[in-house]
Amino acid sequence: MSRLTKTERLGCREILKLMSKDDILSLFHTVTNKMIAAENIKEARKAILSFTKNAEEFLKRKKVHRDLIFKYLAMQGVAMPSNSEKLELVKKTLELWSCGKKAVVDESLPEETNASRPRGPTETPSGSTDMKTEVGFDPLLLGHQFCQWFFQLLNSQNPTLGQQPQDWGPQHFWPNAKLSLLYRSGSEQLDELLGAELLVLVGVAGTIHRGTIWLGIFEQIFGLIRSPLEANSWKIKFINLKIRGQDAVGGTEVAAPALTYTAKELQFLCS
């Protein structure tokens, strides 16, 4: 029957947790050829693993969608281009499992729980020196929490806001961190400040104000990597910041700020 290794079995189990109940039941009927019955989703998952001959067969199943594999790899800390084909993701997953790396298993999740919902962080961003998150993370949740942490910290340094300054310093950056600042206000100017492997890109767009006066809009890309000494600790590797002053965006009424980076441009930042 099944020839899955322990690592492959754990990985397949985690992917099954990300699947909808309907897809699990459909896959269950396919792999068992409707020869057996399952009383609940838990039994259906176990049967799928038992009747699966090998990991590649499981990953290539129609109900094991590309997005599920992409999300699983992200949970394991493996960054893949957002436009990766399913076959590329399957190959990367098999390579990951062949190295014997254990899958991240959250035993606290009940079997009947829909595990595709975002998992909460171990600490809130504002309550720690470094931005914290689980090893098995949701990229969208990570981006939201990082931006909340970073801009609360940054804005606390502005005396006009009347806030208590928080602990801002080099401890939040890697020693070779880099800031690229592109500023447009009539003319264009580029400034770079120089201070592992890239894991996550976080992009955000917003407006800039001085008191109640609107000055312009910005786009900002953060490159984050894990601390090699602490798996749940993230620090900033680089920042790319684009600022357009009010005169460069055409007056006082503009559309809501939005990211204009293409997928290829974001991939280039990873290189």
What are the residue ranges spanned by the domains of the chain? 6-98, 125-270
pTM above 0.85, yes or no: no
Q: What is the CATH number of domain 125-270?
A: 3.10.450
- 4-8, 148-152, 154-158, 246-250: the lowest-pLDDT one: 246-250
Q: What is the pLDDT of residue 44?
A: 92
DSSP string, 93-115: HHHHHHTTPPPP--TTS-TTS-T
Q: How far apart are CA 105 and CA 17, in angstroms?
A: 10
Please tell me the distance from the alpha carbon of residue 216 to that of residue 91, in angstroms, as a whole number.
Answer: 45
Tokens coding 239: 């920042």
Question: pLDDT digit string (tens) for 28-50?
Answer: 999 998 888 888 999 999 999 99
pLDDT band at 209 (very low <50, low <70, confident <90, very high): confident
The pLDDT confidence band at residue 260, using thresholds 50, 70 and 90, is: confident
Higher pLDDT among residues 44 and 247, named by residue: 44
Q: What tens digit of pLDDT does each residue of 233-246 get? A: 777 888 888 888 87
Integer CA distances (angstroms), 12 to 7, 98, 104, 164, in order: 9, 13, 11, 48
Q: pLDDT-based confidence at 128, cuts 50/70/90?
A: very low
CA 81/CA 94 separation, integer angstroms: 17
**Distance between CA atoms of 72 and 10, rounded to whole angstroms?**
12
